[in-house]
Structure 1
Amino acid sequence: MSINILDEEDGKKLIPYLCNHFYSLGWVSGTGGGMSVRIGDRIFIAPSGVQKELIKSEDIFVINGDGETIEDPVNCNLKKSECTPLFLAAYSLRSAGAVIHSHSLFSVLATIITNGSEFKITKQEMIKGIKKGSSNVSHRYDDTLIVPIIENTCFECDLTESLTEAIKKYPDTNAVLVRNHGVYIWGANWKQAKSMAECYDYLFKVAVEMKKLGIPYN
């Protein structure tokens, strides 16, 4: 699957493209994970409980900033993503342009090797690929990158309060890890969110590999 420049402002084409890409990375296996893009005052959201690599443009929900549905998908049996209230938290608190929910192996392992509520890593080149909060300022190589960790719940929507609290408590973060679950990552637009998601995942993997070798990473 590919996307051209003309499709970059079409949320209904962007979501399937990105979900297919993330599936190839192992981030949205099964029916896990989620993807959302905001274009103007319209928020495009992938449906819940479907195989992300098979999503089509006609499967996408369109909502407003209050979570009200503007357009339903063609298939009336589809449901809005369970991640919707968490996506809305990032949109309202950070003016995000896109939010990714990944179930990547290394995001899960990063929470398992970390005691406490903060994943930390420093002196890694890929830290420079992460922005500081809503600014356009990049972290330095020698900064300590901090990603808050919240505890998992049985139902995705029940994570909303703790994710909201983490976003408010850590103004420099663009991600929140969920222990034994995955990670939420957002950016000013879909390209920035995608780029940072790839950097975060690389850093989670580095930490896991360094932990196995007994090398401190923070």
Structure 2
Amino acid sequence: MTSNQAILEAKQAVAKLAVDLSGRGWMPATSGNLSVRVDGTTDFCITPSGVDKGALQATDVLLLDLDGTVLEETRYRPSAETIVHQKLYASEECGSVLHVHTVYNNMVSQLYFNQGHVEFADHELLKALGHWEPDAKITLPIVENHADLQLLGQAVGEAAVAGVPGVLVRNHGIYAFGRKPFDAKRHLEAFEFLFEYHVRMLQLAQVPLHR
């Protein structure tokens, strides 16, 4: 595989993910950002800022190095939250980072922000997150939504822990990641299922949705 082919495949993967996740309503109003590492390198491809993700083309996707420098001529700016992707690529063994904004992940982030995490247990979908043990549970960290993006990147990078492929940001969204784009997408889908399940169970139990 040539380097150019690897770059093209990473850009195509980003564009395909963007159209898919936008179609689910997970990237409203041009929000969210997605990236895929170029195979065999530390460079990565990321969605541009302020673009409708549902209509994204591979030619719109930007190529960056791990320092956040744009490596190709483009009319776009990289996502404002590129620093978060940089921190995760530097600290985690991952090849894709997916960040979406949904109602359910925002609700869960606000509900459990004061305790700094939310725990999920006794769910079949925990297998999709790599936990197959009979008493499986996962503790997902929640960090503050810092306006200073350097602080946000640092907070997400430091909160990421082994065996938990995601970090939730209060009233903002989730960063889910994995070794390959397919893995990151599977993790994201599992988390979003767990968020919705949890909120709906609270509603059924008539538990106030605030703390």
The bucket for the TM-score relative to the shorter chain is 0.7 to 0.9
1:207 CA drift (Å): 0.8
Which letter maps to 2:156?
L
1:89 CA drift (Å): 1.2
| Contact persistence 2:140–2:167 (CA under 8 A) | yes
Paired with 2:61 and 2:70, the residues of 1 have a C-alpha distance of 11
Aligned length: 200
Between the aligned residues of both structures, percent identity stands at 28
Which letter maps to 1:65?
L
Structure richer in helix, relative to its length: 2
For structure 1, the residue ranges without an aligned partner over 5 or more in a row are: 1-5, 132-137
Which letter maps to 1:90?
L
Which letter maps to 1:178?
V
1:128 CA drift (Å): 0.9
Q: Which region of structure 1 is more displaced relative to structure 2, 207-216 or 173-182?
A: 207-216
Paired with 1:120 and 1:56, the residues of 2 have a C-alpha distance of 37
Query: Which residue of 1 is the match for residue 178 of structure 2?
Result: 187
> Secondary structure of 2:30's match?
coil
CA distance 1:178–1:139, change in 2 (3 Å): farther
Which letter maps to 2:32?
G
Q: Deviations over 1:156-202 (max 9, x none)?
A: 443112112202xx322210000111000100000000011101100
Paired with 2:117 and 2:163, the residues of 1 have a C-alpha distance of 13
CA distance 1:143–1:181, change in 2 (3 Å): same
Matched, 1:143 2:153: no
> Secondary structure of 2:115's match?
coil
For 1:123-142, what aligned pairs fall within 5 Å after superposition? Answer: 123-131=122-130, 138-140=131-133, 142=135
For 1:1-16, what aligned pairs fall within 5 Å after superposition? Answer: 10-16=9-15
Matched, 1:204 2:204: no
Paired with 1:148 and 1:12, the residues of 2 have a C-alpha distance of 29
1:105 CA drift (Å): 1.6
| Contact persistence 2:83–2:149 (CA under 8 A) | no
Paired with 1:106 and 1:8, the residues of 2 have a C-alpha distance of 34
1:121 CA drift (Å): 1.2
Q: Deviations over 1:1-21 (max 9, x none)?
A: xxxxx9997122221111010
Matched, 1:164 2:163: no
| Contact persistence 2:128–2:186 (CA under 8 A) | yes
Q: TM-score, normalised by structure 2?
A: 0.87
Query: Which residue of 2 is the match for residue 60 of structure 1?
Result: 61
Paired with 2:25 and 2:6, the residues of 1 have a C-alpha distance of 24
Paired with 2:6 and 2:21, the residues of 1 have a C-alpha distance of 18
1:110 CA drift (Å): 1.1
Coordinate RMSD, CA, aligned: 2.1
Query: Which residue of 1 is the match for residue 78 of structure 2?
Result: 80
Paired with 2:176 and 2:184, the residues of 1 have a C-alpha distance of 7
1:72 CA drift (Å): 3.1
Which letter maps to 2:65?
N
For structure 2, the residue ranges without an aligned partner over 5 or more in a row are: none
Corresponding residue to 1:95 among 79, 93, 96: 93
> Secondary structure of 1:65's match?
coil
Query: Which residue of 2 is the match for residue 45 of structure 1?
Result: 46
1:140 CA drift (Å): 3.0
